[in-house]
Amino acid sequence: MDEDSPNNTAAPVLIPMPAERAYTYAVPPGMRVVPGSIVQVPLGPRQVAGVVWDGAGEQIAAKKLRPINQLFDCPPIDRPMRRFIDWVSHYTLSPPGMVARMMLRAPEAFEPECWTEGLQRTALLPDRMTAARSRVLDVAADGLAWTRSGLAHAAGVSSTVIDGLKTQGVFETVMIPPRPVVAAPDPAYARAELVGDQSEAAASLRASVAKGAFDVTLLDGVTGSGKTEVYFEAVAAALEKSKQVLILLPEIALTHAFLERFQDRFGAKPAEWHSDLAPKTRERVWRQVTEGTVRVVAGARSALFLPFKELGLIVVDEEHDPAYKQEDRVFYNARDMAVVRAHIAGFPVVLASATPSVESRVNADQGRYRRAVLSGRFAEAALPSLRTIDMRRTPPSRGGFLSPVLVGAMKEALERQEQSLLFLNRRGYAPLTLCRVCGHRFGCPVCSSWLVEHRFRGQLVCHHCGHAEKTPEVCPECGTFDHLVACGPGIERIAEEVVGHFPDARTIVLSSDMMGGVRRLRLELEAIAKGEADIVIGTQLVAKGHNFPNMTLVGVVDADLGLANGDPRAAERTFQLLSQVTGRAGRTGKKSLGLLQTYQPDHPVMQAIVSGDAERFYEREIAERERAGLPPFGRLAGVIVSAASRAEAEGHGRGLRRSAPQVADIHVLGPAEAPLSLIAGRYRFRLLVQGERRADMQGFIRQMLSEGPKPRGSIRVQVDIDPQSF
């Protein structure tokens, strides 16, 4: 459909389902739809919500067209947003309806919120003044509209007093609009006095926002250098220009502290957006974002698909974080797509990180992004001194996982009444259970992974499909009783060891599968920040962003863990994670220490962390990628084929490979077993498509899929452009 000359008899409607094109519907007489209108249409026996789209829909004979059922009273999706949806669909090779589905999450939100009836003071006076009437007039003197019961309650009178005043014309009936989900933030509320390179960075961001054109700034500075304060200036500048702002955060567990901090700066909270919102709140936030009532949203990656009315800035905090990648239905990286959205709509983006992704660093080095660097921690806060513990020289005592050096440092921290954090990126008690007699290992019945013992729960659990069974006492293989051993540590096991060393210390274990979910986690994090724990043991949930003022020791239990898999991104990931977790120490003036337990203290990642020479690490890593033609110097995509049988999955993968076009700048590897070759009973094979920097990966894969065998039966094919691990 054409925006300037809407055709009033038929319209293409994009429906949230996996179809390659919009469907055509008849527009009933008297209904006026434009591209972007949100409508309800019949689909088979159901009614579904869809969006009137641009261009032409599926060709259908006019007499066969079914009519649009309803036009919702809701602002239409604007043109940049529609182009963004089309762009993401093209780039990720996902049907446009599936991308639009991420924007249309809350069906009830399409109906306007109800206005309520209220009362407002007129210029008339009551015929006779009583004490009760005078109280009512006092309360209503603010000139605002009140509900009948609200006014009666505030004045401490019965509703009949109000009714009496209304009959006399002292109050008139008015309609009160729905209350905003959050108050309006005030850009001038509590501005921080920026210092040194902070002011330079903020001035440059302000200038970008004022200009209101597309550009990308990589805001690069160690944890605690003031990146948040600096990008708050960009937020303030956007608010002053009456633009809406989106701040993306990688982790829901982080939002709470962030909302408070935002409120301290702007006098009101931003609206939050993530999967944990109550449905009613979700609908209201969605609606108020489209209407422009909500000015700032802080949210998880899915917030990128909210149809803002007048978005003028996106901030991607911790831009390197793998949580920005969605690997389900539509595979996309919210950081990259944020840049695309800003490019299409013409406004600036800020990517903030203490450990930028190699991709963003290269973009900055090559001049596509600007780079603003904050060089040190703010005020007297000093970075922790960092050291490795060579586990070959100072091994833990038998059966333990903590070196005496680390235990000694924990003891000293306890004596100083300061907090320690032990970090191990492994949930549960032990990653593997085996029988000491016959060597049987307990694996998941439907995945190619070992079961992880969760001792608090008394279960063996699969971390991929959720399969759980009671921890057995007898080996199912040889029948021996009570000879099962736990191999390797998870955080529960570390907690056990810590309690053995420090029985009187207050110890907290934190991980994503803790009972009580996000709420409980938030309370625990607040308790830690208030100093209500001495020792915290956690997975990567505790690595990110938190500010624990009294934490002066961070111990990484197994710094080598992330390096073990053969992934070319392993070094980058490990560097980022270790920098981030050690950055939890010394957020205030106190002297602090980070200790890395490792068997490879000479590894470049350990050296980079300990020396604090991040630049050298990036140089090396970038040179290495360039030599190997890996991203961002070359392009990658995964084509994942899964099926109920191994042979089917592999066979289909082979068939696809045979139908790959012959071109000079792209080649296909595989099919090989995917990194996890069996999940929930489905076998997975992967083709790796590797191309030169300017290669047309999408065109290539599209052709391969259309000329290759069609997925039948249990076979499913998923495309992952720019895979996280390769």
Residues of the shown chain interacting with Zn ion in the complex, contacts defined by CB under 5 A: 444, 447, 462, 464-465, 467
Pairing type for strands 419-423 and 551-556 reads parallel
229 binds, among Zn ion, ligand ADP, none (CB under 5 to 8 A by kind): ligand ADP
CB nearer to ligand ADP: pick between 194 and 414 = 194
444 binds, among Zn ion, ligand ADP, none (CB under 5 to 8 A by kind): Zn ion
Contact call for residue 224 and ligand ADP (CB under 6 A): yes
Contact call for residue 670 and ligand ADP (CB under 6 A): no
CA distance 221 to 200: 13
Per CB under 6 A, the segment of 124-132, 224-232, 321-329, 632-640 that binds ligand ADP is 224-232
DSSP string computed for 17-39: SS-SSPEEEEPPTT----TT-EE
**Residue from 37, 94, 223, 690 that binds ligand ADP (CB under 6 A)?**
223
Contact call for residue 432 and ligand ADP (CB under 6 A): no
User: How far apart are CB 575 and ligand ADP at their closest, in Å?
Assistant: 17
CA atoms within 13 A of residue 439's CA, in its CB half-sphere: 0
Closest by CA position to 305, among listed 297, 252, 41, 250: 297
Mask for 378-417, x = binds ligand ADP (CB under 6 A):
x---------------------------------------
**Residue from 13, 51, 182, 194 that binds ligand ADP (CB under 6 A)?**
194
User: How far apart are CB 607 and ligand ADP at their closest, in Å?
Assistant: 24
Q: What is the largest CA-CA distance in the chain?
A: 97
Contact call for residue 308 and ligand ADP (CB under 6 A): no
Any idea which residue has 């759980």 for tokens? 468
74 is in an annotated binding site: no
User: How far apart are CB 691 and ligand ADP at their closest, in Å?
Assistant: 36
CB nearer to ligand ADP: pick between 227 and 493 = 227
Backbone angles phi, psi at 174, to 5 degrees: -130, 165
Contact call for residue 325 and ligand ADP (CB under 6 A): no
CA distance 73 to 37: 9
Any idea which residue has 């999450």 for tokens? 105
Q: Radius of gyration of the chain from Cα atoms?
A: 29
User: How far apart are CB 451 and Zn ion at their closest, in Å?
Assistant: 8
Collapse the DSSP code of 372 into the 3-class scheme (helix H, G, I; strand E, B; otherwise coil) and give the result: strand
How long a stretch of residues is the chain?
A: 726
Whether a cis peptide bond, with omega within 30° of 0, leads into 76 is no
Contact call for residue 228 and ligand ADP (CB under 6 A): yes
**Contact by Cβ (8 Å): 601, 688:** no
Per CB under 6 A, the segment of 76-84, 216-224, 406-414, 714-722 that binds ligand ADP is 216-224
Any idea which residue has 């919210």 for tokens? 334
**Residue from 50, 97, 226, 312 that binds ligand ADP (CB under 6 A)?**
226
Per CB under 6 A, the segment of 189-197, 426-434, 457-465, 480-488 that binds ligand ADP is 189-197
CB nearer to Zn ion: pick between 464 and 654 = 464
What six digits make up the tokens of 153?
A: 């309650």
Contact call for residue 221 and ligand ADP (CB under 6 A): yes
Q: At what angle do helices 614-628 and 604-611 cross, to 10 degrees?
A: 150
Neighbours of 515 (CB within 10 A): 7
User: How far apart are CB 680 and Zn ion at their closest, in Å?
Assistant: 6
User: How far apart are CB 178 and ligand ADP at their closest, in Å?
Assistant: 34
Q: How many helices (H) and strands (E) does the chain have?
A: 19, 31
CB nearer to ligand ADP: pick between 236 and 405 = 236
CA distance 318 to 127: 65
465 is in an annotated binding site: yes
Per CB under 6 A, the segment of 26-34, 94-102, 218-226, 320-328 that binds ligand ADP is 218-226
Per CB under 6 A, the segment of 27-35, 191-199, 441-449, 506-514 that binds ligand ADP is 191-199
CA atoms within 13 A of residue 602's CA, in its CB half-sphere: 1
Collapse the DSSP code of 669 into the 3-class scheme (helix H, G, I; strand E, B; otherwise coil) and give the result: strand
**Residue from 198, 425, 433, 552 that binds ligand ADP (CB under 6 A)?**
198
User: How far apart are CB 523 and ligand ADP at their closest, in Å?
Assistant: 21
User: How far apart are CB 319 and ligand ADP at their closest, in Å?
Assistant: 12
With a CB cutoff of 8 Å and minimum separation 6, the contacts of 663 are 695, 700
Neighbours of 195 (CB within 10 A): 11
Whether a cis peptide bond, with omega within 30° of 0, leads into 95 is no
CA distance 687 to 699: 16
Any idea which residue has 């070959």 for tokens? 392
Contact call for residue 227 and ligand ADP (CB under 6 A): yes
CB nearer to ligand ADP: pick between 363 and 580 = 580
Contact call for residue 106 and ligand ADP (CB under 6 A): no
582 binds, among ligand ADP, Zn ion, none (CB under 5 to 8 A by kind): none
**Contact by Cβ (8 Å): 270, 262:** yes
Q: Which residues are annotated as a binding site for Zn(2+)?
A: 435, 438, 444, 447, 462, 465, 475, 478
Kindly list the residues in this chain that would bind ligand ADP in the complex (CB under 6 A).
192-195, 198, 221, 223-229, 378
